[in-house]
Structure 1
Amino acid sequence: MPFTPHSILHTNSVGMMARQFEMDVTADNLANLNTPGFMASRANFQEYLFDNVPASLMNGPYRGAAVRPNTSLSYTLGPMVQSGNPTDLAIFGPGFFRVQMPDGTTGYTRNGAFQRDAEGNLVTSSGLRLIWGGTIPSTAKDIRVTADGAVEVRVGQDWENAGQITMATFENSSGMINAGGSTYTADESSGPPIIGTPNADGFGSLVAGMVEQSGVSLQNEVAQMMLAQRAYSMSLRSLQTSDEMLTLAIRLRG
């Protein structure tokens, strides 16, 4: 495509917006360094640039091919830490817990730091209720969860089955949308949830008394932030140089 003063200035400004987008995503990753079950996000730059290029500056097969800027999840699992709490659950392998969002829809998380509420539900620290087939009776003295998700409680001297925990997997987990913290929602990119039993084919197993920590690597995110800041500064200098050259050209023509 022909390079005009407008296209050069626009290209530099779009480069700055893309790097700012990357820095915002990286900053959010760093803010969730200690959030259990959090998965880092990555900015998709090619899509971001296309979304900000006017159709008048795009030729041939690229005309009208712009897409919305977005992020993809880095499906890197965090380290497992022992807590000793019987309602803390870690997923060893693929899968997400299903939780009920405030608007009634279903969210998905690997943060298994659950606690029992007054109604016998298992809830996250933010109050999201685990979707499973049962409740914990108030008379339960002990709780145990098996690798395949069976929840058992001890009432008196006997152990009783209280329900079954199921999980969800996705064709493309990286395409899920972050709904805040370590909770995610399904999207067209992720595909619909596939529901199954822990420890079954294609699903991870559950280990009680452990919690998965954040999957964010401090070293990687700091390096990513430094690269993005450097690229932003280069785009800014290029924009300033282009503006100075354009101003000089206008003066010479005048």
Structure 2
Amino acid sequence: MDRLIYTAMTGARHILDQQATTSNNLANATTTGFRAQLDSFRAVPVVSEGLPTRTFVVDSTVGTDFRPGPIQTTANPLDVAMRGEGWLAVQSPDGSEAYTRSGSLKVSTNGLLQTRAGHNLIGENGPIAIPPDSEISIASDGTVSAISTVQTQPGPSNVLGRIKLVNPPPAELLRGDDGLFRLQSGQPADVDQNVRLVDGAVEGSNVNPVDAMVSMIALARSFETQMSLLKNAENNAAKATQILALN
């Protein structure tokens, strides 16, 4: 009897966790560069002095769907999308290096090039400073150039820096609570000269809203099934108690 309780109880608990993951994916269906989170279940035996007849369900390591999202043209010179594989290197709030696919960029009040979330982009020689009254262009290799708009005649283009573009193996990336990815080793990734950008465009989320909605419905029904199993276990225990009382 308790074997059923162990399985149903832990199954219901982790179904709620997976429901939260699916809800988070659905909420980020329109977030630029978002990568869907993945959950999977596995059965683990209960280690005790008795026989290993009891098992419980655990949610294995949460993974990430690294499939690319759709490219959306914006015609904004500060918007970039990854052409195929690759990541933009940014500075996280704790000062460490992190990676994102969100290429919707802006210039901060301090004149630094950063993402819409406020993370400074890392250049190959440090942060990229944008001079005031300048027209910015970003090349496919990440080179950031500026042309002064103060002069009546357009002046020469000045190279301000080059965005650090990396392409570490997906198996070595770990998603943080802030939505940024980092190497599991904690070390910065090497620059990949083969990574290319698409200017005037951003990459959308790779979450399929229809699949997420269907998954939420399926998870809700699975949770009801686990609750039904727990109710059946309770009824069976009550019937067994009645039989023992009669004897």
- Fold conserved between structures, TM > 0.5: yes
Work out whether residues 112 and 130 of structure 2, in 8 Å CA contact, stay in contact via their aligned partners in 1: no
C-alpha separation between the residues in 1 aligned to 2:114 and 2:172?
25
Percentage identity across paired residues of the two chains: 24
Gaps of 5+ in 2: none
Q: 2:231 pairs with 195, 217, 240, which one? A: 240
Q: Describe the SS at the equivalent of 1:143.
A: strand
Look up the equivalent residue of 1:83 and give its one-letter code: T
Q: Describe the SS at the equivalent of 1:8.
A: helix
Work out whether residues 23 and 228 of structure 1, in 8 Å CA contact, stay in contact via their aligned partners in 2: yes
Displacement of 1:138 in angstroms is 2.1
What's the counterpart of residue 33 of structure 2?
37
Q: Describe the SS at the equivalent of 2:220.
A: helix
- Is 2:71 aligned against 1:74? no
Displacement of 1:112 in angstroms is 0.6
C-alpha separation between the residues in 1 aligned to 2:219 and 2:51?
25
Work out whether residues 136 and 153 of structure 1, in 8 Å CA contact, stay in contact via their aligned partners in 2: no
Deviation sequence 1:100-131 (CA, Å, 0-9, x none): 11122222110011101132211122211111
C-alpha separation between the residues in 1 aligned to 2:144 and 2:190?
18
Structure 2 CA distance for partners of 1:233 and 1:68, relative to 1, 3 Å: closer
Q: How does 1:1-254 map to 2 (within 5 A)?
A: 5-46=1-42, 49-50=43-44, 54-56=46-48, 59=52, 69-132=60-123, 133=125, 134-155=127-148, 157-173=155-171, 176-180=174-178, 182-187=179-184, 194-198=189-193, 200=194, 203=195, 205-254=196-245
Look up the equivalent residue of 2:159 and give its one-letter code: N
C-alpha separation between the residues in 1 aligned to 2:46 and 2:105?
48
Displacement of 1:168 in angstroms is 2.3
C-alpha separation between the residues in 2 aligned to 1:239 and 1:77?
41
Q: Describe the SS at the equivalent of 2:33.
A: coil
Q: Describe the SS at the equivalent of 1:55.
A: coil
Gaps of 5+ in 1: none
- Give the TM-score of the pair, scaled to structure 1: 0.83
Look up the equivalent residue of 2:129 and give its one-letter code: I
C-alpha separation between the residues in 2 aligned to 1:67 and 1:196?
38
- Whichever of the two has the greater Rg, that structure is 2
Look up the equivalent residue of 1:135 and give its one-letter code: I
Deviation sequence 1:42-87 (CA, Å, 0-9, x none): 11211xx43xx53227849x99xx9874310011211111122211
Work out whether residues 75 and 173 of structure 1, in 8 Å CA contact, stay in contact via their aligned partners in 2: no
C-alpha separation between the residues in 1 aligned to 2:172 and 2:7?
29
Displacement of 1:247 in angstroms is 1.8
Structure 2 CA distance for partners of 1:68 and 1:27, relative to 1, 3 Å: closer
Structure 2 CA distance for partners of 1:162 and 1:109, relative to 1, 3 Å: same
Work out whether residues 173 and 181 of structure 2, in 8 Å CA contact, stay in contact via their aligned partners in 1: no
How many positions carry a matched residue from both structures? 236
C-alpha separation between the residues in 2 aligned to 1:135 and 1:8?
59
Q: Describe the SS at the equivalent of 2:160.
A: strand
Structure 2 CA distance for partners of 1:249 and 1:238, relative to 1, 3 Å: same
User: Which segment drifts farther, 26-35 or 129-138?
Assistant: 129-138
Look up the equivalent residue of 1:54 and give its one-letter code: V
Look up the equivalent residue of 1:196 and give its one-letter code: V
Structure 1 or 2: larger helix share? Answer: 1
Structure 2 CA distance for partners of 1:8 and 1:68, relative to 1, 3 Å: closer
How big is the alpha-carbon RMSD for the aligned residues of Structure 1 and Structure 2?
2.7
